[in-house]
Structure 1
């Protein structure tokens, strides 16, 4: 429970920081998201190095910066051009220091980190960004809390031995309810439909956490880094957001504003 308190405090401080950046300016929020994506990409590359994978991290960061600058100037639909540019660079480096496996992980990690984080910028209405943060972090909090109190049956022990079926179920239910309540106060329409969207996003939040756990277990590391008290690294805290953001974004587009 002591670790839960640490995680809660860290989560509240981070949540306050991102909400403050969003309230002050969307530009400041863009910078904050890029910094988070930057640190996450560094952590992920270190994890992959433990697996024998080595790719040009500096190049990935430059491409990530270029992509975020394009978003800033509202050129996000030039992502295809960026991807072609990325492929051209991959072809150029294949014959030298990096092999096909390295560059496959290069593309995968770019999509996993920079593309998914960029959704927080592509969504133009702040209230939906709040819902992404709420769905992700409330799932993490409730799943951890109920898992600690009631957890008996392991969810997927070979990937994450501390996660329980009870924590997953109650985390999904209470996260969906709390996020729907927030949606109500934010003036979101079609709350009945959105409740089921939040159920889906909560499930994906836990899938995102499991994917991160699988990467860490494959790399034989406990945490991605030791930056955050009670959490480990930036990616340990934001792993679920990487899976929640696309879900909310899809229904944000489908259901309209």
Structure 2
């Protein structure tokens, strides 16, 4: 527990500092997080962090990093088309590649690369802090509410310790934190904010459950060992993966 707490404090302080200063360092850090996430999930699916399926996703991550960091901005649709096309070409011309393999490759590209790419898109934005507020706020409030009041299991086949009461507590707690933060930003579209916050909190829990389901299906406890007491990068950022796109598109279309 002590090791988990120390890692959490050190890691949280590092990410907070990187987010506060933003810029190129922020992009590099999240590019690194994406690559580590690809490695961890490729180890689970392919038993090899440098399988050709992993290499395709590293290439996709590099393309999006270049698109974000250089004058080649707004090339995302082209890179996405190229990524999908390459995967289908590999499927057609590589006799050893079946639909299961291609599905796993594209799953990693969607789950890790595409979802986390939205954190890079919010580099320098005040709204990026909402991702942390909702993801970690939901997790924290759900944990303590579940401990104090949890009776009914939420999804015991995937995560035996999560409860319905904890989920409700997580949604309420993260919504209150969101309202406080939006008030700090002088934004008072309260109906939109409440609907968004509850929805994003559901996404946060879905991200957590998705990671748990992957681990349960493959018989592993953690995705890796990089973060002592927490496991791998994906063990810590599973909720962020789902919340980041929710925050980005809410800000783009409703604020």
Tell me if structure 2 keeps the 8 A contact 1:224–1:234: yes
The 5 Å alignment of 1:218-229 reads 218-229=217-228
* The 10-residue stretch of structure 1 (222-231 or 31-40) with the greater mean CA deviation from structure 2: 222-231
Structure 1 residue ranges without an equivalent (≥5) = none
Shift in Å, 1:81:
1.5
Residues 236, 72 of structure 1: CA spacing in aligned structure 2 closer, same or farther, 3 A cutoff?
A: same
The structure with higher relative contact order (CA 8 Å, sep 6+) is 1
Q: How many residues align?
A: 250
Q: Deviations 1:50-94 (Å, cap 9, x if unpaired)?
A: 6xxx75212211221111111112544322211232234224433
The answer to whether structure 1 residue 89 and structure 2 residue 86 are counterparts is: yes
1:62 pairs, out of 33, 48, 59, with: 59
Tell me if structure 1 keeps the 8 A contact 2:19–2:123: no
Q: Deviations 1:91-115 (Å, cap 9, x if unpaired)?
A: 4433334322211211121111111
The answer to whether structure 1 residue 79 and structure 2 residue 76 are counterparts is: yes
CA distance in structure 1 between the aligned counterparts of 2:113 and 2:123, rounded to whole angstroms: 17
Structure 2 residue ranges without an equivalent (≥5) = none
Tell me if structure 1 keeps the 8 A contact 2:19–2:124: no
> What corresponds to 1:121 in structure 2?
120
2:19 pairs, out of 16, 19, 22, with: 22
> What corresponds to 1:33 in structure 2?
30
* The 10-residue stretch of structure 1 (101-110 or 7-16) with the greater mean CA deviation from structure 2: 7-16
CA distance in structure 2 between the aligned counterparts of 1:222 and 1:56, rounded to whole angstroms: 23
> What corresponds to 1:108 in structure 2?
107
Secondary structure of the 1:158 match is: coil
Residues 154, 7 of structure 1: CA spacing in aligned structure 2 closer, same or farther, 3 A cutoff?
A: farther
Secondary structure of the 2:15 match is: helix
Residues 250, 88 of structure 1: CA spacing in aligned structure 2 closer, same or farther, 3 A cutoff?
A: closer
TM-score by length of structure 2 reads 0.89
TM-score by length of structure 1 reads 0.88
Shift in Å, 1:189:
4.0
The answer to whether structure 1 residue 195 and structure 2 residue 194 are counterparts is: yes
Residues 125, 255 of structure 1: CA spacing in aligned structure 2 closer, same or farther, 3 A cutoff?
A: farther
Shift in Å, 1:164:
1.1
Tell me if structure 1 keeps the 8 A contact 2:145–2:166: yes
